[in-house]
Structure 1
Amino acid sequence: MSSLLFVGLGILLSLGLFIVWQRNWTFVAQTPEDYAGSGPVFDVRKHLNGPLLCEGLIYGPTGRVSSRFVADMNVEWDGDTGLMTEEFRYDSGATQSRRWTLKVWPDGRVEAEAPDVIGTGTGRQTGAGLQLTYRIRLPEDSGGHVLDATDWMYLVENGAIINRSQFRKYGIKVAELVATMRKKP
């Protein structure tokens, strides 16, 4: 009986250490304040504005590239409210369109809505970084799953934006996206 108790305690200790590690030292543990005062200042209205070219990779749960894409984006602002349209072309030949409505608040908070986003995405821009979290429903041909998404966009000195996103189901990472966004020439 005592060996069963030790196994149970070992499992609980391992789970506790995993949760502490996850919340303190991983991608999802970043905060916008981590980027305050670092690098160029990311202003969504300035840097996500006009026609943009986006190129990226999607990694599956094993860490291998599962898809490549190119997207044409266009963002138009009316004050603090922006409309971003995205036209994706995947290496499989599939296409996808998305239309985001973005709202930037004076304190740096950002809200985002899209038809496949459940509710309103929320985030914050601080320093060179922009964080956005939301729940997204995948298309039916991709299973129709609802995933928790965490997007981080980092502004680099030449004005390009590097986007890293992780998608989780039940807290387990099932996909990751890495992309660059830059003004179209």
Structure 2
Amino acid sequence: MTPRLLKPGRLLLACLALASALTLGGCASQQMESYANEKPVLDLQQYFNGTLDAYGVFTDRSGTVVKRFSVVMVCSWQGNEGTLDEDFTYSDGSKQKRVWHLTRLADGRFTGRADDVVGQAQGESRGNALHWNYTLSLPVDGKVYEVQFDDWMYLMGERVMLNKATMSKFGVRLGEVTLSFYKR
């Protein structure tokens, strides 16, 4: 039996159909409501108040650790307005500062801005989880790229929170940031 070859036009259509199926399958994401009953309940204003230490890694698409870092965060709130002052120290000795300005809205929603965030971050909290979406201006080798972050945080206990963020550009996954926070 001789294998039947697809004509170039049909081959292209078959490849597009496969790519579409893979892309749509990758679009499935977590839903905030699935965390609504999880404990301990995250009170963002309470957890991000005072000084926190965080430790993290950035991994590329293959899972290889590209950068390790630590962060000292000094956080405070005045009513519904919060400031998260972050000082990063990377394993190569470089340093970076980011100051988030958060606003608490109704229904567990938050907005955030920082100097290197394009527009506003949009966040939502339910149960023990917080989900953020934002675009970050990321300097790499003398150039600045705008990359999207899909950022999930999970309160594990009174002092510990875990964070996993997927970084992408044009819908293509570039890597992940994994962090652990510890409240002093």
TM-score > 0.5, shorter chain as reference? yes
Cα distance in 2 between the residues matched to 1:39 and 1:7: 51
Secondary structure of 1:144's aligned partner: strand
> What is aligned with 1:144?
144
Q: Runs ≥4 in structure 1, deviation > 4 angstroms?
A: none
Secondary structure of 2:11's aligned partner: helix
Q: Report percent identity of matched pairs.
A: 29
Quote the offset at 1:22 in angstroms: 1.0
> What is aligned with 2:169?
169
Aligned pair partner of 2:7 in 3, 21, 35 = 3
Secondary structure of 1:139's aligned partner: strand
Quote the offset at 1:4 in angstroms: 1.9
Cα distance in 2 between the residues matched to 1:142 and 1:58: 19
Cα distance in 2 between the residues matched to 1:93 and 1:165: 23
> What is aligned with 1:15?
19
Secondary structure of 1:123's aligned partner: strand
Deviation per CA, 1:61-117: give whole Å up to 9, x if none. Answer: 322000101110011000111011000000001000010001111310110100000
With 117-126 and 8-17 compared, the bigger mean Cα shift is at 8-17
Cα distance in 1 between the residues matched to 2:103 and 2:109: 8
> What is aligned with 1:44?
44
Query: Partner amino acid for 1:55?
Result: Y
Cα distance in 2 between the residues matched to 1:123 and 1:142: 30
- 1:46-61 matches, within 5 Å, as 46-61=46-61
* TM-score for both structures, normalised by structure 1: 0.92
Cα distance in 2 between the residues matched to 1:16 and 1:40: 39
Deviation per CA, 1:6-60: give whole Å up to 9, x if none. Answer: 3122112112211221112xxxx11211211122111110111110000011112
Q: Identify unmatched segments of 5+ residues in structure 2.
A: none
Query: Partner amino acid for 1:19?
Result: T
Which of the pair is proportionally richer in strand? 2
Q: CA RMSD in A?
A: 1.5
Larger radius of gyration: 2
Q: Identify unmatched segments of 5+ residues in structure 1.
A: none
Cα distance in 2 between the residues matched to 1:45 and 1:93: 31
- 1:93-108 matches, within 5 Å, as 93-108=93-108
Count of aligned positions: 180
Cα distance in 1 between the residues matched to 2:120 and 2:169: 18
